[in-house]
A and B are shown apart, each in its own frame.
Chain A
Amino acid sequence: MVSPQAALVLVTLALVPAAQAETREFTLANGLRLIVKEDHRAPTVVQQVWYRAGSMDEAPGATGVAHVLEHMMFKGTRRVGPEEFSRLVAQAGGRDNAFTSTDFTVYHEQVHRDRLPFVMRLEADRMANLSIRPEEFAKEIKVVMEERRLSTEDQPRALLDETLLAAAFSAHPYKWPTIGWMADLENMTWKDAQAWYRDWYAPNNATIVVVGDVDPGQVVAWAKRYYGPLARKAIPARKPQSEPEQRGMRRVVLKAPAELPYVRFAYKAPALRDTGKDWEPFAIAVLVKILGGYDAARLNQILVRERRIATSAGAEYELISRGPGVVFLNAAAAQGHTAAEIESALREIVAQIAAQGVTAEELQRAKVQLLAQLAYRRDSFFAQAMELGELASTGLSIRDADRIPEQFKEISAEQVRSAAAKYLVDDLLSVAVLDPQPLSRGATARSGAH
Chain B
Amino acid sequence: MGSALRASLALLLFASALPADARVQIEHWMTQTGVRVYFVETHALPLVDVSVEFAAGGAHDPRERAGLGRLTLDLLRGGSARYSEADIDRRIADAGAQLRDSFDLDRAGFALRTLSSEAERRSAVDTLADILQAPRFPAEIFEREKARAIAGAAEAETQPDHVAEKRLYELMYPTHPYGVTATPATLATITREDVERHYRDHYGSGGAAVAIVGDLSIDAAKALAEQLTARLAQGAAVALPAPQPPAPGKIVRVGHPSTQSHVLLGEAALARDDPDFFPLVVGNYVLGGGGFVSRLMIEVRSKHGLAYSVYSYFYPYAQLGPFQVGLQTRRDQANEALKRVQDVIGEFVARGPTEAELKAAKKSLVGGFPLRIDTNRKLLEQLAVIGFYKLPLDWLETYPARVQAVTLDQVRVAFARRVAPEKLAVVIVGASD
> Quick check: A296 and B160 within 8 Å, CB to CB?
no
A11-B96, A149-B259 in contact; A93/B363 too (CB < 8 A)? yes
Expressed in whole angstroms, the Cα–Cα distance for A11 and B113 within the complex equals: 13
> Quick check: B94 and A4 within 8 Å, CB to CB?
yes
> Quick check: A376 and B9 within 8 Å, CB to CB?
no
Q: Does A365 contact B (CB under 8 A)?
A: yes
Contact partners of A311 in chain B: CB under 8 A: 147-148, 151-152
Nearest opposing residue in chain A for B167, CB measure: A445
Name the interface residues of B374-433: CB closer than 8 Å to any CB of A: 374-377, 422, 426
A140-B305, A376-B47, A440-B257 in contact; A448/B374 too (CB < 8 A)? no
Contact with B along A366-383 (1 / 0, CB 8 A): 001101100110111100
Nearest opposing residue in chain A for B374, CB measure: A42
> Quick check: B117 and A142 within 8 Å, CB to CB?
no
Nearest opposing residue in chain A for B301, CB measure: A143
Q: Does B46 contact A (CB under 8 A)?
A: yes
Cβ of B189 to closest chain A Cβ, rounded Å:
17
Nearest opposing residue in chain B for A112, CB measure: B19
The residue from B19, B306, B374 contacting A93, defined by CB atoms under 8 A apart:
B19
Cβ of A355 to closest chain B Cβ, rounded Å:
23
Name the interface residues of A56-110: CB closer than 8 Å to any CB of B: 74, 78-80, 82-83, 86-88, 90-96, 110
Expressed in whole angstroms, the Cα–Cα distance for A118 and B12 within the complex equals: 7
Contact partners of B15 in chain A: CB under 8 A: 114
> Quick check: A379 and B259 within 8 Å, CB to CB?
no
Contact partners of A87 in chain B: CB under 8 A: 292-293, 360
Q: Does B90 contact A (CB under 8 A)?
A: yes
The residue from B148, B158, B290, B308 contacting A258, defined by CB atoms under 8 A apart:
B158
> Quick check: B95 and A2 within 8 Å, CB to CB?
yes
> Quick check: B258 and A10 within 8 Å, CB to CB?
no
> Quick check: B360 and A450 within 8 Å, CB to CB?
no
Expressed in whole angstroms, the Cα–Cα distance for A308 and B144 within the complex equals: 8
The residue from B22, B44, B86, B293 contacting A296, defined by CB atoms under 8 A apart:
B86
> Quick check: A86 and B291 within 8 Å, CB to CB?
yes
> Quick check: A150 and B260 within 8 Å, CB to CB?
yes
Expressed in whole angstroms, the Cα–Cα distance for A400 and B304 within the complex equals: 46
Contact partners of A399 in chain B: CB under 8 A: none
> Quick check: A91 and B360 within 8 Å, CB to CB?
yes
> Quick check: B90 and A365 within 8 Å, CB to CB?
yes
Contact with B along A413-428 (1 / 0, CB 8 A): 0000000000000000
A6-B119, A93-B369, A121-B9 in contact; A146/B328 too (CB < 8 A)? yes
Contact partners of A143 in chain B: CB under 8 A: 301, 305, 307-308
Name the interface residues of B237-261: CB closer than 8 Å to any CB of A: 248-260
The residue from B46, B154, B259 contacting A154, defined by CB atoms under 8 A apart:
B259
A43-B22, A439-B256 in contact; A14/B46 too (CB < 8 A)? yes
Q: Does A277 contact B (CB under 8 A)?
A: no
Nearest opposing residue in chain B for A364, CB measure: B94
> Quick check: A79 and B1 within 8 Å, CB to CB?
yes
Nearest opposing residue in chain B for A438, CB measure: B158
Q: Does B330 contact A (CB under 8 A)?
A: yes
> Quick check: B260 and A146 within 8 Å, CB to CB?
yes
Expressed in whole angstroms, the Cα–Cα distance for A96 and B89 within the complex equals: 37
Contact partners of A207 in chain B: CB under 8 A: none
Cβ of A385 to closest chain B Cβ, rounded Å:
13
Name the interface residues of B186-206: CB closer than 8 Å to any CB of A: none
Q: Does A241 contact B (CB under 8 A)?
A: no
Expressed in whole angstroms, the Cα–Cα distance for A449 and B252 within the complex equals: 9
Expressed in whole angstroms, the Cα–Cα distance for A117 and B9 within the complex equals: 10
Name the interface residues of A279-293: CB closer than 8 Å to any CB of B: 293
Contact with B along A250-269 (1 / 0, CB 8 A): 00000001111000000000
Q: Does B367 contact A (CB under 8 A)?
A: yes
A150-B328, A301-B86 in contact; A74/B292 too (CB < 8 A)? yes
Expressed in whole angstroms, the Cα–Cα distance for A90 and B290 within the complex equals: 8
> Quick check: B123 and A110 within 8 Å, CB to CB?
no
Contact partners of B86 in chain A: CB under 8 A: 296, 301
* Size range of the chain A interface in the assembly: 35 or more
Most chain A CB inside 10 Å of its own CB: which residue of B15, B97, B98, B293 = B293
Cβ of B252 to closest chain A Cβ, rounded Å:
4
Name the interface residues of B1-34: CB closer than 8 Å to any CB of A: 1-2, 5-6, 9, 12-13, 15-16, 19, 21-22
Q: Does B51 contact A (CB under 8 A)?
A: no
> Quick check: B308 and A150 within 8 Å, CB to CB?
yes
> Quick check: A447 and B250 within 8 Å, CB to CB?
yes
Q: Does A348 contact B (CB under 8 A)?
A: no
Q: Does A410 contact B (CB under 8 A)?
A: no
A378-B45, A441-B257 in contact; A139/B158 too (CB < 8 A)? no
Q: Does B354 contact A (CB under 8 A)?
A: no
Expressed in whole angstroms, the Cα–Cα distance for A82 and B301 within the complex equals: 12
> Quick check: A369 and B96 within 8 Å, CB to CB?
yes
A114-B15, A154-B259, A335-B147 in contact; A41/B44 too (CB < 8 A)? yes
The residue from B155, B163, B292 contacting A86, defined by CB atoms under 8 A apart:
B292
Contact partners of B253 in chain A: CB under 8 A: 445-447
> Quick check: A93 and B45 within 8 Å, CB to CB?
no
Q: Does A153 contact B (CB under 8 A)?
A: yes
Expressed in whole angstroms, the Cα–Cα distance for A6 and B368 within the complex equals: 41
> Quick check: B303 and A146 within 8 Å, CB to CB?
no
Nearest opposing residue in chain A for B123, CB measure: A2
Q: Does B41 contact A (CB under 8 A)?
A: no
The residue from A74, A92, A334 contacting B367, defined by CB atoms under 8 A apart:
A92
Most chain B CB inside 10 Å of its own CB: which residue of A86, A118, A143, A364 = A143
Contact with B along A1-29 (1 / 0, CB 8 A): 11110110011001100000000000000
A7-B120, A146-B306 in contact; A371/B144 too (CB < 8 A)? no
Q: Does B370 contact A (CB under 8 A)?
A: yes
Cβ of A21 to closest chain B Cβ, rounded Å:
15
The residue from A110, A335, A375 contacting B150, defined by CB atoms under 8 A apart:
A335
Contact partners of B350 in chain A: CB under 8 A: none
Contact with A along B134-164 (1 / 0, CB 8 A): 0000000000100110111011011010010
A305-B144, A439-B256 in contact; A259/B154 too (CB < 8 A)? yes
Contact partners of A96 in chain B: CB under 8 A: 292
The residue from B45, B256, B292, B371 contacting A110, defined by CB atoms under 8 A apart:
B371
Cβ of B354 to closest chain A Cβ, rounded Å:
14
Q: Does A304 contact B (CB under 8 A)?
A: yes
Cβ of A296 to closest chain B Cβ, rounded Å:
4
A44-B371, A142-B305, A448-B250 in contact; A93/B1 too (CB < 8 A)? no
Known: A44-B374, A260-B151, A439-B256. 6 other contacts (CB 8 A): A14-B115, A41-B44, A79-B1, A295-B77, A311-B151, A380-B375
- Closest 3 CB pairs between A and B? A93-B367, A372-B96, A142-B305
> Could you write out 16 A-B pairs with CB less than 8 Å apart?
A11-B120, A14-B46, A79-B1, A90-B368, A91-B367, A111-B371, A139-B303, A139-B305, A153-B260, A259-B155, A260-B155, A311-B152, A365-B90, A372-B98, A379-B47, A449-B248
